[in-house]
A and B are shown apart, each in its own frame.
Chain A
Amino acid sequence: MSIHHISKSYGPVQALNDVSFEVSKGELFGLIGPDGAGKTTLIRILTTLLLPDSGEARVIGLDPVKEFRALRKHVGYMPGRFSLYQDLTVEENLNFFATIFGTSVRENYHLIKDIYSQIEPFKDRKAGNLSGGMKQKLALSCAMIHEPEVLILDEPTTGVDAVSRKEFWEMLHRLKDRGITILVSTPYMDEASLCDRVALIQNGHILNVGAPADLVKSYSRHLWAVKASHTLRLIEDLRKHPAAYSAFPFGDSVHLALKGELAEGELLDYLSKKEHREIEIKAVEANIEDVFMELMAKKQAV
């Protein structure tokens, strides 16, 4: 997949601003950013459903604008909103998609067996009556039934609980192992670590592209993870320190990013003087959210 200088506006709103990156064959690639970043717009362009204003793209060597018919045969697409037929049964939906793409469930059953077998006991149930996790599995089966070379998934794990998310990513990894190229978008930053490479996207701009580990290594600030008995007061006091660049809650501690350097002892003194109790300070590596936040702030400052 290659994306070159793609821009797209809806009236005055610029959804994509000069977006470029490439996805290698067989890669599991994550498009990571919050709501409104432009993820769905880009995916709709790549899946031949929307025309870009400028720029061009290739998916398995085909142009989604000029060669959309050919491309559709080779791309599996799972849209963000559940878009199967709610009043058809599980089996009817699958048969429908197989027929549309000129194949049959029997012919390609081996491709979806792993996923579909989990919902097969409910094959006579209407799709509208499935749980969230089961709907996902059916949608993925329908997207896979025509043996696509490329799978494009728009926020498959949004609003899904941590357990189902984990299982869904395990399914994606098994598909990747079979050589399928996967582009998946998500607003959950922690899912970046499950991808081979990611593009971080915000307000239509690509903030950075790379392997998650490399992006994390590119983070240049010193980071302390700080805990104390009163979190709100801790955040406020950390921000007041002259060496503080930012202080934000991260799980069970507060990440203090520094402008320059600050020794652990000095920080401990500072917090003790401000009457914090149960203080714990520990050096931490940045995670992908630290990186995203830093890049967001840089972009806004420009």
Chain B
Amino acid sequence: MNLAITTESLTKKFGAFTAVDAISLEVAQGEIFGFLGANGAGKTTAMRMLTGLSRPTSGRASVAGFDVSRQPEQIKRNIGYMSQKFSLYEDLTVKENIRFYGGIYGLSLKNIGIKTEQLLEELDLREVSKTPVKSLPLGWKQKLAFSISQVHDPAIVFLDEPTGGVDPITRRHFWELIYRAADKGRTVFVTTHYMDEAEYCDRISIMVDGKIAAMGSPSALKKEHQAPSINELFVRLARVTTAGLG
């Protein structure tokens, strides 16, 4: 099994507060991995370490074959990242956004040209290629943001609550894009507050107070904990601690 992400006792402390407490996990290449946890459980801090934005206090992690402590710059170049809050530049056109991110990720002008054509075709956005992104419907923006996050063909893409506030049809179309990307061998590491989406993942982990309280396939976890749904399991595990710092 090829591993896209491995962590060993990965830990981050802020002063006396341990935000991420010795988490160990492995994510296989091509896997859809759901990273769940209550607000303040340490998800964002863990994600920042895995994307090379924050140095671990102790422990190790390797992402796309690079060490998060020693090679954060290589990690940034070899992963994709998309969140609901930060994705596209609304005032730039579809084409300009592709060119901008292509440039950021160091693609040659020639490759940017090829990639632009390919994306416009695949996403069926040729007719609006010169339209500012802000005037596109939300569903189109999302698929564009998702594709642009992978304009440099990274082995792994991190999605941080990509579907918040989206209508139920658009949300499902978005998950089909995730399935397709994983089908092509891309690893998808995703956080969400929609517990039904947790069920779409190959495996999930649930963080509670900086630690991984449960990890496995949704069906195995439901069986193990005799929970009717992941929502139920999540509430059961996470409810014990609610006064955590956000």
Contact = CB atoms under 8 A, between A and B. Distances in A.
B235 A131 contact: no
B231 A293 contact: no
B183 A132 contact: no
Contact of B168 (A163, A164, A292): A292
Interface stretch (B36-44, B58-66, B119-127): B36-44
B169 interface: yes
A167 B243 CA distance: 12
B218 interface: yes
Contact of A162 (B138, B170, B193, B244): B193
B169 A296 contact: yes
A130 B39 CA distance: 12
A36 interface: yes
B240 to A, nearest CB: 9
Contacts of A202: 167
A163 B239 contact: yes
Given A131-B39, A249-B175, A162 B238 contact: yes
A108 interface: no
B179 A159 contact: no
Interface in A13-41: 33-37
B234 interface: yes
Interface string B151-191: 00000000001001111111010011001100100000000
Contact of B193 (A37, A159, A231): A159
B244 A131 contact: yes
Given A232-B176, A235-B176, A252 B218 contact: yes
B200 interface: yes
A257 to B, nearest CB: 12
Cβ-closest 3 pairs across A and B: A131-B246, A35-B165, A34-B167
26 contacts: A33-B167, A34-B168, A34-B170, A36-B138, A131-B40, A131-B245, A132-B39, A158-B164, A159-B39, A162-B231, A162-B235, A163-B234, A163-B235, A164-B242, A166-B235, A167-B242, A187-B166, A202-B167, A231-B179, A232-B180, A235-B176, A249-B200, A250-B196, A251-B230, A252-B219, A296-B169
Interface of A: 33-37, 130-135, 158-164, 166-167, 187-190, 202, 231-232, 235, 248-252, 289, 292-293, 296-297
